[in-house]
Amino acid sequence: MLYDFKNDVRAYFATRVGVPVAGGTLQTAIDFNNTHTDIEMPFFNQDLFDLANSLDTSDPNAPQDPGLFGSNGAGMASYNVALDLDQAAGVSMDQALSSFQLDAVVSATDNPAWSTDLVYGDHFIFGTSGLAAGPGYPIVQVPAGEVYGVPLGISFFGTAFSEPTLIKLASGYEAATHARTHNLPTFAATVPFDHIKGPLQQNSESDRAIQSMATAVSSNPMQAAALSANAVASPNQATRAKIKKALHQL
């Protein structure tokens, strides 16, 4: 994408008029940002711009950094080699689907949604969409639930032209779990202190619940037994069991 970005920015700037970058290149944008740092970059720099601009995009076979583009068996790295690797990933997926007689691959879309700040930026840990994105295979992503108050997605992806199957699987999952309706979007004030009940807050609440149950034991044994049963049959456990059953049916 860095390779395409550099060329596409030049093509886009060629269509612009009356702006400082009209008819320019990615280097034009970099220079403009550097000249107006206090306005354009008060909190961050332009590492991705600089990295994309450093690539040789004059020839798709020009040597590139293997760390960015990958390399073939001969140790060569280029834009065209990267395209070949993407296609090979699709062949590998097809082989896995065929060998294990699978309709699709199901995975968490990525880590639970994260907060973005000026120190860590996007706290992205992992993502699975790249398995489909490389070879250009279809993928459907739907809500799967929430973790400590922030959303988590689930992805269904498969071979080329398997969209009808993927839509059926994703629709069936949503019909069985109602994850979307049970986890409506919110505008959290902040995380985790004002919005998310993390482990520390949960432990504190558990301690208070235990103390309440202990008091109930001394005053009313029957009520204590009911409280204990309610604590065991928590909503989260019920939800997990329902999702597990839905995935088994799929």
Q: What is the pLDDT of residues 209-246, one digit of tens each?
A: 445 544 444 444 444 444 444 443 444 555 455 445 54
- 84 phi and psi angles, rounded to 5 deg: -65, -40
Average pLDDT, the chain: 81
**Per-residue confidence (pLDDT) for residue 189, from 0 to 100:** 65
**Per-residue confidence (pLDDT) for residue 154, from 0 to 100:** 95
d(CA 166, CA 170): 6
d(CA 90, CA 108): 19
**Per-residue confidence (pLDDT) for residue 229, from 0 to 100:** 42
Confidence band of 43 (pLDDT split at 50, 70, 90): confident
What DSSP letter does each residue of the chain carry, written as one string?
Answer: -HHHHHHHHHHHHTT--SSTTTT--HHHHHHHHHHTHHHH-SS---HHHHHHHTS--S-TTS---HHHH---TTS---HHHHHHHHHHHHHHHHHHHHHTT-S-EEEE-BSSP--EETTTEE----BSTHHHHTTT--EEEEEEEEETTEEEEEEEE-STT-HHHHHHHHHHHHHHH-HHHHS-----SSSSTTT---HHHHHHHHHHHHHHHHHHHHH-HHHHHHHHHHHHS-HHHHHHHHHHHHHHH-
End-to-end CA distance of the chain: 35
Q: Which of 111, 229, 114, 104 is nearest to 172 (CA)?
A: 104
Average pLDDT over residues 162-187: 91
Average pLDDT over residues 186-202: 52
Region of poorest pLDDT, from 74-83, 188-197, 223-232: 223-232
**Per-residue confidence (pLDDT) for residue 1, from 0 to 100:** 86
Tens digit of pLDDT for each residue in 111-156?
888 877 787 778 788 888 888 988 999 999 999 988 877 889 999 9
**Per-residue confidence (pLDDT) for residue 225, from 0 to 100:** 43
Answer whether 153's CB lies under 8 Å from 109's CB.
yes
pLDDT of 91 higher than 70 = yes
Average pLDDT over residues 174-194: 76
Burial of 77 (0-12, 13-18, 19+ CB in 10 A): buried
pLDDT of 55 higher than 60 = yes
